[in-house]
Amino acid sequence: MKLWSDAWAEFVPFLSFDVGIRKVICSTNAIESVNARIRKAVRARGHFPNEAAALKCIYMALMSLDPTGKGRMRWTMRWKAPLNAFQIAFEGHLNPSNN
């Protein structure tokens, strides 16, 4: 109970957000998955002769997550509602992108 009462002032504003926004804020599985893939690739390599080699390793690990490029369409469809909710909630603060 003390944890809830101490954090109540920070938690209540969270409830005023749209459900789509709350899901985005609470879900970190995708981010954790990407971080795990990067750690695995870096750990397998062990060491790098220079920064460019390390960046290339990270780039290759990220590209291996979606080798066909079809994941972008699934991502776009899954994030359409939350992005619209962000646009409404923070009108004038987000710049729309056509990419």
**Domain map (residue ranges) of the chain:** 19-86
The pLDDT value recorded for residue 49 is: 94
The pLDDT value recorded for residue 86 is: 80
For the full predicted model, state whether its pTM sits above 0.75: no
The pLDDT value recorded for residue 64 is: 86
CA 45 to chain centre: 25
The pLDDT value recorded for residue 96 is: 59
The pLDDT value recorded for residue 85 is: 80
The pLDDT value recorded for residue 22 is: 78
Q: Which residues of the chain have pLDDT under 70?
A: 27-28, 72, 74-76, 94-99
CA distance 62 to 21: 25
- Buried-state track 72-93, b at ≥16 Cβ within 10 A, e below 16: eeeeeeeeeebbebbeeeeeee
**Which sign, positive or negative, has the C-alpha torsion 17, 25, 77, 92?**
positive
The pLDDT value recorded for residue 72 is: 67
